[in-house]
Amino acid sequence: MRHHDEILNRPFPIDEENAKRVRLRVRRKLPGRRLDKYLHGRYPHLSRTSIQRLIRQGAVTVNGQSTKASYEVNGGDIVEMVMPDPEPSEVTPEDIPLEILYEDDHIIAINKQAGIICHPAHAQQTGTIANALAFYASRLSHGQDPFRPGIVHRLDKNTTGVMLTAKTDEAHWRLALQFERRTLRKTYLAVVSGEMNLDGDTIDTPIGVHPIVRERFAVMIKENRINVAKRAVTIYEVAERFRGYTLVKLQLKTGRTHQLRVHMSYIGYPIVGDLLYGGPAISEHTITGEGSQTPLLSYQALHSWRIDFQHPITEKPMTVEAPFRSKFKKLIHLLRRARSV
């Protein structure tokens, strides 16, 4: 949320003397049609976020007055907009190692490491998966955001595992459609605190921004908060039990921010290492009673293990699995050695 606000507050550079201005007359009232959506429909090459930035900086007026992105357009409205100069569209290539799981002429599947975000918020930001892809691949899809070349979907900064990226625009939008329609299946593996009683279940509870801590999300089931939350559905299945811990398979039926972390914490089994949502730190000493007391992971023990999808061009069913990263692998090894049930 904070990251999105930073983008909205960053104004477009506009050459007032030479800028192109457009003038639109709304022919009829469009019930429920917000101004930003209306303009995005007319100028699809501009993202809704870009249009919201223009509205916020006063580069869009309705009947000569500045307004908000949420304004509902009416028949007879005169909408005027200053078209922005193109922003730099080049993401700086960086020689950041990538673990390639699968590659062909259309897609690349990687095993994402922890501690790296998926794409920059602006051209000057570096050290992201997008920067690494720009260095590695001679061709990447453009998508709707110049700072996300090849990026079809995202993983949290510290979530590891399989991530699909696109080389061509056709592969990009066809993959994006599978994510949107939930026709592909993503399976995560997580180590949670506690021995889960049930072998599996479905968690269907809405999630929204935490009312106090803005960096967090929370389950919201009270009547007065349900309107600011979005439905979130997670399916879990126990993969392996240990004394005091459980390795669990998780599937997303919706894609809310921090959904798996919030849901597992909500049912009383927070993900190990996830301090933001109550997950305990875990070390070799914690598990075995000896050895180092330094935490094995400085982040949540959550790994995007497998994606089942349809190849965007050949339409053949595909499965890509990501082996555990080294720290997650060591955690599982220690649990199996010292805490097997």
Same domain, 122 and 264: no
Q: What is the CATH number of the domain that holds 135?
A: 3.30.2350.10
Same domain, 167 and 268: no
Same domain, 214 and 310: yes
Same domain, 170 and 190: no
- Residue 133 per-residue DSSP state: H
Output 320 or 28, whichever has higher pLDDT: 320
Check pLDDT > 70 for residue 227: no
Q: Please give the backbone phi and psi of residue 217, each rounded to the nearest 5 degrees, phi first.
A: -120, 160
Q: What percent of the chain has pLDDT over 90?
A: 62
Sheet holding 60-62, edge to edge: 21-25, 78-82, 60-62, 65-66
Same domain, 333 and 198: yes
Q: Is 72 part of a structural domain of the chain? A: yes
Q: How confident is the model at residue 108 (pLDDT cuts 50, 70, 90)?
A: very high
3-state secondary structure 148-204: CCCECCCCCCCCEEEEEEECCHHHHHHHHHHHHHCCCEEEEEEEEECCCCCCEEEEE
- Taking only the tens place, the pLDDT of each residue in 154-169 is 898 999 999 999 999 9
111 and 165 in contact (C-beta within 8 Å)? Answer: no
Q: Please give the backbone phi and psi of residue 73, each rounded to the nearest 5 degrees, phi first.
A: -70, 145
Q: What is the CATH number of the domain that holds 22?
A: 3.10.290.10
Residue with tokens 């039990």: 241
- Residue 337 per-residue DSSP state: H
Same domain, 208 and 262: yes
Q: How confident is the model at residue 21 (pLDDT cuts 50, 70, 90)?
A: confident
Question: Looking at residues 102-119, what average pLDDT do you find?
Answer: 94
Q: How far apart are CA 88 and CA 77, in angstroms?
A: 33
Question: Looking at residues 289-312, what average pLDDT do you find?
Answer: 95
Residues in the chain, total: 341
Same domain, 157 and 192: no
Q: Is 43 part of a structural domain of the chain? A: yes
Of 132, 159, 181, which residue constitutes the final position of a domain?
181
Q: Which domain holds residue 227?
A: 186-338
Q: Is 91 part of a structural domain of the chain? A: no
133 and 140 in contact (C-beta within 8 Å)? Answer: yes
Least confident residue range of 70-74, 212-216, 297-301, 331-335: 212-216
Q: What are the Cα distances from residue 331, in Å, to 114, 147, 254?
A: 15, 35, 28
Mean pLDDT of the chain: 88
85 is catalytic: no
Q: Is 53 part of a structural domain of the chain? A: yes
Q: Is 95 part of a structural domain of the chain? A: no
Check pLDDT > 80 for residue 211: no
Same domain, 128 and 167: yes
Same domain, 327 and 204: yes
Same domain, 119 and 249: no
Query: Among residues 36, 77, 156, 274, which one is catalytic?
Result: 156
Domain total in the chain: 3
128 and 110 in contact (C-beta within 8 Å)? Answer: no
What pLDDT score does 14 carry?
65
Same domain, 301 and 211: yes
Strands in the chain per DSSP E: 21-25, 60-62, 65-66, 78-82, 100-103, 107-112, 160-166, 185-193, 200-204, 207-209, 217-219, 233-242, 245-252, 302-310, 317-321
Same domain, 222 and 331: yes
Q: How confident is the model at residue 202 (pLDDT cuts 50, 70, 90)?
A: very high
